Structure 1
Amino acid sequence: MDPRSTAQDVHRCDLCETAIVHSYCDFCHVNLCKPCIGEHISDGYDKHKIVPFQERRSTLIYQKCEMHPQKNCKFQCKDCNNIVICSSCALSKQHKGHYFVELVEVYKTKKEDIEKDTKELENHISPTYEKIALEVEHQLANLDGGYEKLRTTISKHGEKWHKEIDIVINNVKTELNEIKVKHREILQKHLDEVKQIQSFIKQTLLALKELEQSTEVSSTIEYSSKIREFSKLPPKVMVTMPTFISKSIEPRKLYNLFGQLTSLSTATEEKVLSLSQPKSSVRKLFDEPELVATIKTGYYELCKVICLNEERIWVSGSNSDIKCFNLEGSLLQTIKTKSGEDPFDIALDSDENILYIDRKTLTVNKVKNGLTEEVIRLRGCNPVNLCVTSTEDILVFMYSVSKLRCQRRIVRYSGYREKQTIQFDSEGKLLYPGTSSTKCIENRNHDICVADCGAGAVVAVNQNGKFRWRYTGHSSVTRSRPFRPFGITTDSQSHVLTTDRDNHRIHILDQNGQFLHYIDTCNLNFPNGVCVDNNDNLFVCEEATCNLKKIRYLK
C-alpha cells in the first residue's frame, strides 16, 4: 500500500504531490513545498500570500478602498453607518472627529458569533427539531392503530343492529375515513414544515462552517444571525382523535340514532427555545463621558425615550404625539395615541412595533403598520410603565387603590395573558412602597430592575420575583437633593443606569447593584427617561429643556 494514501500520512504539496508541505498560500489556499513556491508565484499575481504551513489561513483579506485603491479598508466608522474605510479616509475631513473601530475587532466578534451560533444550532436547536419530527412521525405511525380501535368499536356496536342498518354503518365508516384523511393531512403538513425548517438549519450550518473557515472579511462582517428566527419553534399541532358516541337502537331514524363521530380537534402550542445568553466583550467606562449629539424634540415636557439603534429614536412627552427622530434631529414619523391622551410609557418589541400605555383607557396598545390594536386591558388597575423582555413577554408596572392602601406590583404577560405577579419580598413586605413615578426594565442577566422614585431606591429581583438587591444612592459625592431615580436602562455589560433627576446626574451600577460611576458632565438638566441602543449609546431625556442627548460612556 502506498503510504501517501494512508490517513496517518503527512501533508503533501498540492503541485508536485510528492514533497512534504513547507508553506501555504493564504490567498489561493494551496499547500506548497519549497521548490514549488517559485512556480506558484511565477504568474506575477500580486495577491499571493506565502506563509509557513503552521500559520495557514491566518492572513485576513481586506477589501480595497474605493477612494484609495492602493490601500485596504481596515477601519469601520461608527458615525457613518459603520462604513468601512482605509487609513487615508480616516484622516480626511469627511471623517474628522469620528469614532473608528478596527475591522479586525469586528471580524473577531463576528467569528465568535459564528462559532456560538454553530454550537447553538448543533447542540440545541437542531436536536430539538429532531425531537419534534420524531414525535410527529410517532403520531403518524400510531395513526392507523388508533383509528382501527375506533373502527372495531363501531363494528361491535353495529353487530347489535339488524342487517337493514348496514348501510348506515358504512356511511359512518366513510365519514371516519374522511376524518382520518384530514387528520393525516394535518400531521403530514406539520411534519413537512418541521422538516423544511430542519433543511434550512442544515443549510445554515453548512454556510456557518464555511464562514468559520473563511478569511474573507466582507462576507464575515456581513454575517447576520438567524438564531432568533430558528428559536421560535413551529406551533405544536395537537390533533385530538374523534370519539364514537353510540346511541340506543331504535328502528327509526337509524342514521341519527346509530351514533356520530366528533370532529377533529386541532390546537397549536406556541414555544420558543430558551437561548443561552451571549457573552459580550468587556467594555470599560470612560472617565469623562462624551456628549455626541443633542436633538430638539419640540415637547413642552420630555419624558420617555426608546430605541434599538441610532437611526430611529422614539420619544414621548406632554402630548399625544409619539415622535421618531434620527440622529441628525430630523422628524421621521409621528404616531398619535388613539384616545388623544399623552402616553404614560412607550416600548419597542423585537419587530420594532411601538407599544404604549394609554392612561385614559387603561390599556397597553400596539401600533403595527399604522394600525393601533389593544393588547392588554387592565380592569381596576392603573398601568404606569412597561417593557418588553428578551423572551417577548411584556412587564407592566401598575397600581390599584383600595381603602387601606395602594397596591403596586409588576405583572408579566406572555402572549398577552397574565403569567406572573411580583409584589412582595420573602417576608411579605412590599417591594415597591413608593407613591410616585416608577420605571422597570429587564437586565441582560434577566433581573427585573425598578427605579422607584417615591421610595428613592432602585430595586432588583430575579426572573422568579425573588429579591436580589436595593440601591438607595451613593454617599461618595455630595448631593444637594435626595436620590430620586426616574429613568432606568441597561447595556450589553449588564450595567444598570438610572437618572438622579433632581441632582442632574446618572448613576451607573453593576449587575449586583454596586455603584461604579457617575455621569454628571454633559450639562445634564433634570435627566428623566433614558435608554441604551444596541451599540451601547446612551440617550437621555432632559425634562427641563426637552432636548434629547446622545452620550458615549463606554470605551
Structure 2
Amino acid sequence: MNCLTMDSQRSAQDLLECHLCETSIPNLYCDICDIHLCKTCVGEHLSDESTKHNVVAFKKRNCTIYNYPRCPKHSSKRCELHCKLCDIPICVQCVSSAEHDLHKKIEITKRFEIKKSVLHRDLQELETSINPKFENMLSCILVQKTDLNKHSQEVTAAINRHGEELHKEIDTIIQKLKSELSEMDSKYLDVLNKQKDNITRTISEIKQSIADLKQIVDSHDISLVSSFKSRNAEFRSLPPKLTFVLPSFTPQHIKKEQLYQQFGSLSAPSIKTEEQVYTLDSPGAERSWIIKDIKTTYDYYERLHSVSCLSEEEVWTSGTDAIMRLYNLQGQLVKSILTKSGNGPNDIAVTRSGNLVYIDSIDRTLNIVKQEEIQTVIELRGWRPLNVCSISNDELLVVMLSDDDKQTKVVRYSGTTEKQSIQYNDKGQSLYSSGDIKFISENNNLDICVSDNKAHAVVVVNQAGKLRFTYTGPPSTSEVSFKPYGITTDSQSQILSADQYNNRIHILDQDGQFLRYIDNLYLYYPWGLCVDINDDIFVAECYRGHVKKIKYNM
C-alpha cells in the first residue's frame, strides 16, 4: 500500500484545511470521498448516507485496500460498481439515473480481483512460457553459429587436404573456393545475426512487460489496472525457426589440363524457414517449465554426458574430459575432481551417503570419491564397465560390455562383492544389445531400467532379473526413431528417458505405458538425466554444456 512518509504527511498537513470548516489542521481523512476532515466535522460528513465512507487518521490516508475510482460523469462520487456492457465504473448516482438499468453490473472490487487474476496469468505466461521460449531460441541460435563455424572449418580442411595433393597449380582455385565459402558463411551469419537481434529485442520487451506487470500487480490503483493493455498476444507470435542445409565439399580426381573444371565444387547452400506456432496448454494438461538453466564449462568439443544429483541445490557433472565438476543452481563451480587415471569418466553417480562414484572404461575400473580421495572399488577383466547407478544400501548397478563387444550384462555390487548378474531372458536370449551406449536406473518398485540405444529401447526387468517389458516408443510413429540415452526414475515410479535426436524426454509409468513428452522447452541434445528429492529433473544438454532443472510433475 502506497502510504506517505511521516515527514511528507506533516508537511502536507501544515498546508491543508478541513474541507467542511476550513480548520487549518485536519486530523482525519475520508479515503472514499477524498476529503480532509477535522474531528468536529466527522459527524456531519458521515450523515451523508448516499455513499460509503472510510474515515481514517490523516497519517493513514490513501492506505485503504481498495482505492475506488472517481466517477467519469460525477466527479464528486466514488464508483463501487462496474457496468459490464459499457465497461466503465459507475457510482450510485449513475445507477439512480436508470441509464444502466438493463445492464449487468458487478461490484468494482470483484472486477478488480478478476482483472488482477488475469494480470497474474499474463505474468505467469510471460515468465514461465513465452520468455523461456525466446531465451531457448536465442541459445539455439548461438549453438547454430558454433556449428556453422565448426562445419566451415571441416569443409576448409577438406579443401586444403585436396589442394595439397595437387600442389601449387591449384592454389588459385583453392582460394576461389574459400572465398565462396566465406561469402556463404557471411550470408548465413547475416541471417543468424538478424534472427538473434530480433529475438534479443523481443526478450527485452518481454522483460520490460514483466517488470510493468509486476508493478501493476502490486498496485491498488483500479484505474491503472483497468487501463492496462496486455501484449501477450503479440509475444505469442514466435519468430520462424531456421534450418540450414550447409555447403559440403566434393573432391574430384582430376587431370592437370582440366584442373579448374575437375577440382571440385561446393554444394549450393539453402536456408529453410519453418514457421513455429505458439500454443497454450489446454485446461488440465500437465505442463513443464525450466526452473534453472545452468551454464557449465562444457561445450561442443568437451561434451557434457552425465549429471547426478548431490542435492536439490547441487549436481555433479562429467563429460569427455577427465574432470568431474560440482555446480550449484547459480552456475557456480563448487568443486572439481580429476580422475585417478586421467581418463574421461564414462559415467557418474552419487551414492545414498553422498559419495561420488565414476566409471573408467579404459582402465576397466569403478571408483568412489570419499573426502576428495579416490578409491578403486572394482577392477574388471574381460569386461569393461559402461554405466552405473547407486541404489539402496549404497549398492551399485553396473552395465558392462565384454572385451569382444558381443555381450552386455548388468551386475549388482555390494561393496566389492558381485551379488547378481543379469544378462539373458527366460529363453536364453540376450536382454541387451552389444552396443556401448546404455544408461541405468532403479525404480522405487526395485525394477532395473536400462536405456539401450542400439536396440532403440528401454528394457525393464524386475529385481530378480526377469523381463517385465520393453519400451520402443509411443504408439504413434515418430519421424526419427527412438534412440534413448540418459534414464532416471522418480518417486512415483515413473521412468524418464532422454530422446536425444528428437530433443525431448519420454515419461512412462512403472508398467511401461507412455504418458507424455517433455518437449516444449527447446531442449538441445539431452543426454544425461537425474531426478532430485522434489521430483524435479536435471537434464544435461550434450553439445551446449547446459544443465536444465525442470519442473514436470504438477
Give the TM-score normalised by structure 2.
0.48
Q: Which has the larger radius of gyration?
A: 2
